[in-house]
Amino acid sequence: MKLRQATSSDFDKIMTILKDGANQLAERGVEQWQGDYPSPDQIKEDIKNGWAYLAQSDDGQTVGAIAIVPGPDHVYDNLHGKWLLDTNDYLVIHRVAIHSDHAGHGYATQLLEGVINYIRNHRSDIDSIRIDTHEDNKAMQHLIDKMGFTKVGELHGVYRPDEISYVYEMLTKDEKSK
C-alpha cells in the first residue's frame, strides 16, 4: 500500500471514491455520509491544504482515499468525553474510503496501518492520532479498535443534526516505546 498526496487533478477520482463509500454505507443501513458531507468544497480544501491522499495498491491501482488533517481540528471543539492527552500536536484521520471494486482485500487495514506507522516513525512532533466514525458504522469501529485506538468520547450533531459519532485517539509516543 502506498499513499500519494492528491492534486487538483485528482478531485473527480476522490469524489467518485467517497460517493462509492457513501453508497456502501447506505447499503448497510448506515446514515453516515448520506447528506452533504463530505462536500466538494471540503475535498477541494483537503487538496489545497495538502491533506488529501489517494491509496494505491502494490500493483499501482488507486483503491481508496483518506484525509490527514493537522490539529487543532474544530470538529472536536464540543467533544463529550476526555482526550488521552491534552495536546494540539495531533493528526486527524478523516474521510476514509476504499472503493467497492477493491473491497475485501484488506486495503482499509493496510491504509490505516501505513498511516499510523508513518506517523510513529517519521513525525516525532505528533503526540496522537484522532479519528471518529458514525455510531452505526460497525465496520469502521471494528477497524479502529483493531488498530489499537481508544474510544474517548462522542460528538453530537457535528456532521448532521441528531447524528452521534464515536471519537477515538491513539498516543503515538507511548505506543512507539512499547
Which pLDDT does position 55 carry in this prediction? 97
- What does the alpha-carbon distance between residue 127 and residue 145 come to, in Å, rounded to a whole number? 19
CATH number at residue 63: 3.40.630.30
How close are the terminal C-alpha atoms of the chain, in Å? 25
Domain count, the chain: 1
Residue numbers of the domain that contains 107: 2-176
Which pLDDT does position 26 carry in this prediction? 96
Reply yes or no: is the peptide bond before residue 70 cis, omega within 30 of 0: no
Residues 45-60 have pLDDT tens digits of 999 999 999 999 999 9
**Could you give the C-alpha distances from 111 to 27, 60, 97, 116, 118, in angstroms and in order?**
23, 14, 10, 9, 11
Under the banding of pLDDT at 50, 70 and 90, the label for residue 18 is very high
Q: Is the pLDDT of residue 176 over 70?
A: no
Which pLDDT does position 177 carry in this prediction? 44
Residues 98-124 have pLDDT tens digits of 999 999 999 999 999 999 999 999 999
| pTM (global) more than 0.85 | yes
Q: Is the pLDDT of residue 174 over 60?
A: no
